[in-house]
Amino acid sequence: MGNDNNLKGWVFVIGVLVILGLAAFSIVSAVQQSARQAQQAIQPVNDLTSSVATQVSQFMHPTPTILPDPVTIISGVRSLARLETIQYSVEKVITAETNQGPFGFLFGDRLILVAHGIVIAGMDLERLTPEQLELRGGALYVQLPEPEIFLTTLDNDRSYVYNRDTGLLTHGNINLETDARRAAEAEIEKAALEDGILDQAQVNAENYLYRLLRDLGYPEVIFTQQPPED
């Protein structure tokens, strides 16, 4: 009799545990389903928020549109006989500013430009005339034209505005960066000249032309600054 009561008690306990397990499973399933439904319900809102954020970002930081004019005008064509003999790469830091007085914090404008540029020098052989070539005593005397700067320009891919500060009551000078770039080109060319770019252009030109004229059959080539004396 006692064993029957114990058995009935265990059956009752097991039944309760099974019912509780099923109830817990049902509750977890319901919660997960509710979570999925809630996620599905707010997904359009998330998509809308993301879309609005993207549009705001595009508005605040727009990608520039480049529209070149389809009409091309060729203003001039001429032949060149330039012998480029040296190229300098120069970096300069330029500070440009306006209205930096007592009210600079209101109306001032200041920028720092890191400018990378190149300077190319050489000789214009179109200026070499027959009168500047004379064959005498088996030697060829050559009076070369003066070396010159052919090109000074900024490397736009490497040049950039490092910093710009404008006053509280101004939008800045629209020409300030242009003026800074123009000044940078002048300073870059000045630095190359001070470093002796024209002297080196002269040496390189003489070395190149010496080998060329020797290959053409002249056994001796002499470069002079003045026409050879009789």
Is it the case that residue 121 has pLDDT exceeding 70? yes
* pLDDT, averaged across the chain: 79
Tell me: the pLDDT tens digits for 40-96?
655 665 565 666 555 555 555 566 677 777 777 777 676 668 899 999 999 999 999
Beta bridge partners of 124: 82
CB 184 within 8 A of CB 119: no
Give the tokens for residue 191: 């630095």
Helices then strands, counting H and E runs in the chain, come out as 4, 7
What is the enclosing helix (H) or strand (E) of 11? helix 2-60
- Number of structural domains (the chain) is 2
Whether 151 is covered by a domain: the verdict is yes
Residue 1: per-residue pLDDT = 52
200, burial (CB in 10 Å: exposed 0-12, middle 13-18, buried 19+): middle
User: What distance in Å separates the CA atoms of residue 52 and residue 63, rounded to the nearest whole number?
Assistant: 17
Whether residue 88 is found in the same domain as residue 180: yes
Residue 41: per-residue pLDDT = 56
User: What distance in Å separates the CA atoms of residue 159 and residue 31, rounded to the nearest whole number?
Assistant: 59
Is it the case that residue 184 has pLDDT exceeding 70? yes
Whether residue 20 is found in the same domain as residue 98: no
Is it the case that residue 169 has pLDDT exceeding 90? no
Whether residue 19 is found in the same domain as residue 130: no
Residue 25: per-residue pLDDT = 54
Beta bridge partners of 135: 140
- DSSP class of residue 76 equals -
Whether 60 is covered by a domain: the verdict is no
Whether 75 is covered by a domain: the verdict is no
Helices (H), the chain: 2-60, 104-107, 176-194, 197-215
What is the enclosing helix (H) or strand (E) of 166? strand 160-166
Whether residue 37 is found in the same domain as residue 86: no
Domain membership of residue 120 as a residue range: 82-224
Whether 24 is covered by a domain: the verdict is yes
Residue 206: per-residue pLDDT = 93
Whether 59 is covered by a domain: the verdict is no
Of 113, 112, 109, which Cα lies nearest the Cα of 99?
109
User: What distance in Å separates the CA atoms of residue 149 and residue 18, rounded to the nearest whole number?
Assistant: 96
Whether residue 33 is found in the same domain as residue 134: no
Which amino acid is it at 156? N
Which amino acid is it at 97? E
73, burial (CB in 10 Å: exposed 0-12, middle 13-18, buried 19+): exposed
